[in-house]
Structure formats: structure tokens, C-alpha cells
Amino acid sequence: MSSQVRLRLLPSARCLFDQPVQVKVEGLRSSQVVTMRARSMDEKGVVFSSSATYRADGSGKVDLLRDPSLSGSYVGVEPMGLLWSLKADALHKYFFKNNALQPHVVKFSVHEEDREDRMLAEVTNERLLIGNGVSRVPVKGRNFQGVLFTPSGDGPFPAVLDLSTFASEKRASLLSNKGFVVLAVPVYSDHPDNVKQTNLDHFKEAVDFLQQQPKVGSKGVGIISRSKGADIALSLAAFVPGIEAVVWINGCSSIVGVPVYYKNRQILSTLPFDFNKVIRTESGASIIRYGLEDAVTEKNKGSLVPIEQAKGHFLFIASGDDLNCDSKAYMDEMAERLKHHGKENFETVCYPEAGHLLEPPYGPYCPSALHGLIRFPVLWGGEPRAHAAAEVHMWKKMQDFLRTHLKCDAA
């Protein structure tokens, strides 16, 4: 290491996962070309790395907020590029970070140009998922299990149910840092092959549990959902009272997978999937976007969620390059249907170049990974830079929407 070269993360090397940092290097030679690197390991032990080449200015400084990458994992001015471009050596790897108690640890380093063995400086960035004073409590109800995150302070706070396809705490814990009581509940707590039906009553139990929390002040509950969680969120809004706001991200307007039951009777059938329409690619990952049948045909209308009977508000978010499903078409269909019924209780947002896996910002972009339900690798879609920008925009948009529609009475 070079004693005069300094690598700094501003405002601090310790921050929340969804906060940007300014990466600066000082003490280089005038116009020196260096390679910046980032490296992190996920919870499964898979190493992800990125690199970019920069030229110092006349005073020997590099500032990622200002300076363009000349080559590497990305080019151009991308202040957080080293984070979103983190990538595993092996194909089809998703950066697995679900435990809220463990920070996302990233090592940033600066090296002589294209010389990994010649490190000039290094700094560790601890990106926390759970902020000061936020409590995390595992919860087991009669028919649901999840994790409850509660902000510090007396409240009252708005209540949000975070529906993820499989157990994950990342989005819920980060949202709780912003002043929401959030209950993270997976759609599948058992292996999907063992699940023959979805019981909406189980999720209603989770909604009721949330409303009973002492720090909750909103008269209703909000829901955040993506993919499989999104059609369950629509069903709750349509059939269960007390759902005031639903964030639907890259899902379907119909039920996918298994039929939905409520109060001991089937209320929704499933939209069939045609595996003959799966497109195999040379990478070994498939495009499954075209597999689902048309939701609005007569034979499939029993799978369409009747959101027109919902009392709450919707924020529909779709990616134009979602290769998992045609989420933009489903969003447009729902918007048209609500308009047809004289409803104005919705907003739509489309990110034309983003892919399926829209998540809280500044995590590694994932182009392809093993699909948890169909058990083979799929392409998720998205242009990395545009996808990363969409995540930043969406994260704020979502919070603003939930705050608007989950008003709390003053304590």
C-alpha cells in the first residue's frame, strides 16, 4: 500500500444500505490512471466484484461523483457504479442478502492500473440494513410466520405488510428505518411443490396482527409486493377490508401458481403457464415472459383479480424490459379496467429499460438467476445502469405513496 494515497467514503464508511456514498481518492500523481475495485461476499459465500478505470485530475484526485470511468464494469460518471455492477464469476448468481442483522460489507480499493497485486489504498464500507433503534422480532401467528420491524420512538407509525415470494428481510427492515411498522411475510414458507392452494385468510391474519400493534397509527394497512407477492396483494385489496394502499411491482393481474381460497371456498383460479413458450438462451438461462396465457380471455377470467372492488389505492410499477412476465401489459390492463369502472384510485409508473428484480437501491444488479418456483435459471431483463436508476427513483416514490395514503392520527 502507498502511504500517501487516501481512499475515503463520504459522509461515512458506515451507512444504511439504501444511502449513497461519495468515493474519493487523494494523493495520486497528476493524471495517474488507476483501477478502482469493489468486493463483497453474500450470505451463501459467493464473492461478487467490480472494477473501473479512472484518471486522476491535475492535483492527483479521483472523485466518483464527478469523474467518468474510462473502462471496466461500467463507463461514464456513475457515483455508485462499483456497487450496482458487483458481479459473481459464475453465471446466474443472485446476491443473497436477506438477514437484516448483518450489514452488507463492501471492500473498496484503489490499485495501480490493471495491477490487482499493487493495491494503493483500501477502505471497508458497512451498509446497514437495520438502523438505530429499529426493533426486529420474529413472529409466529396461528397461520402465518414473519418478522416484525418497528421504528424507535412512540409513533404513531403507518403499518405495512411486506409480501415477498420467499422469506426476506431486506426491504422490510430498510422501510422500517424510514418510520414504518413493517411485517415481512413470505408467500411461500414451505417448498412451493408442497403448496396446493393459497389461503387468503392466513394473510388477513397477518394484516389483523399488524393493525393491533401499539405503535401503529394508520387506520388501514399498506402492502408492498413484487412478482408472486403482487397477485396476493391484489387479492387482499379486493377481498379483505382495511387495505388502504398497495404497491404492486412487476407482477400479474391474475393469480399465478395455485388457486386462492378465502373463508373455505375457492375465489380465484390460476392462469395457466405454457412451458412450450419458454425461450432457451445460449447462457443457459431462459426467457419465461411469454409463458403465461392471456388473462382476459373468457376461459381465464376466473383467475383475474377483481381489483375494481378494492377500496384502497394502488401504485402499479412495471419494468418495460421485464423478461419474467409482461408486467407492463398487466399494469396497462389493470389501469384500463379501473378507468372503465370509473375509478381514479391508482398511479402507474413504467421504467422502460429496467428488469424484473426491482429492489431497494445500491445492491448488485442481477441479470439472471435460478427461479425459485420453476427451478431453472431465468433472465430477469434490464439494462444495468437504467435498472439501477429505476431502483433509486422507485424507492422514494414508494415511500411517498405509502405516507400519502396511510395517514396517522397525531399522538
193 pLDDT tier (thresholds 50, 70, 90): confident
Q: What is the pLDDT of residue 116?
A: 78
pLDDT in tens, 291-306: 999 988 999 999 999 9
- Mean pLDDT to the nearest integer, 14-37: 98
117 pLDDT tier (thresholds 50, 70, 90): confident
pLDDT in tens, 309-323: 999 999 999 999 999
- Lowest-pLDDT range, 132-136, 215-219, 338-342? 215-219
Q: What is the pTM of this model?
A: 0.96
Q: Where are the domains of the chain?
A: 6-128, 135-405
| 42 part of the active site | no
Which positions ≥6 away from 226 have C-beta within 8 Å? 164, 165, 249, 250, 251, 358
- Mean pLDDT to the nearest integer, 216-243: 96
Residue 409 predicted with pLDDT over 80: no
Residue 118 predicted with pLDDT over 70: yes
Residue 120 predicted with pLDDT over 60: yes
| Consecutive H or E run containing 177 | none
Phi, psi of 350 (to 5 degrees): -120, 135
Mean pLDDT of the chain: 96
pLDDT in tens, 69-78: 999 999 999 9
Instruction: Tell me the one-letter amino acid at 318.
Output: A
- Separation of alpha carbons 381 and 323, rounded Å: 5
Q: What is the pLDDT of residue 410?
A: 56
3.40.50.2020, 3.90.1150.10, 3.20.20.210, 2.60.40.2240: CATH of 6-128: 2.60.40.2240
Four-residue CA torsion sign, 156, 158, 159, 160 = negative
Residue 373 predicted with pLDDT over 90: no
| 227 part of the active site | yes
3-state secondary structure (DSSP) of residue 309: helix
From 92, 104, 356, 387, active-site residue: 356
- Mean pLDDT to the nearest integer, 284-295: 95
Instruction: Tell me the one-letter amino acid at 322.
Output: D
3.40.50.620, 3.40.50.150, 3.40.50.1820, 3.40.50.300: CATH of 135-405: 3.40.50.1820
From 67, 231, 321, 322, active-site residue: 322
From 227, 254, 303, 327, active-site residue: 227
Contact between 380 and 354 under an 8 Å Cβ cutoff? The reply is no
Q: What is the pLDDT of residue 342?
A: 97
289 pLDDT tier (thresholds 50, 70, 90): very high
Contact between 172 and 398 under an 8 Å Cβ cutoff? The reply is no
Q: Which percentage of the chain shows pLDDT scores above 70? A: 99
| Consecutive H or E run containing 159 | strand 157-164
Residue 411 predicted with pLDDT over 60: no
253 pLDDT tier (thresholds 50, 70, 90): very high
Q: If we measure between CA atoms, which residue out of 309, 322, 269, 404 comes closest to residue 331?
A: 322
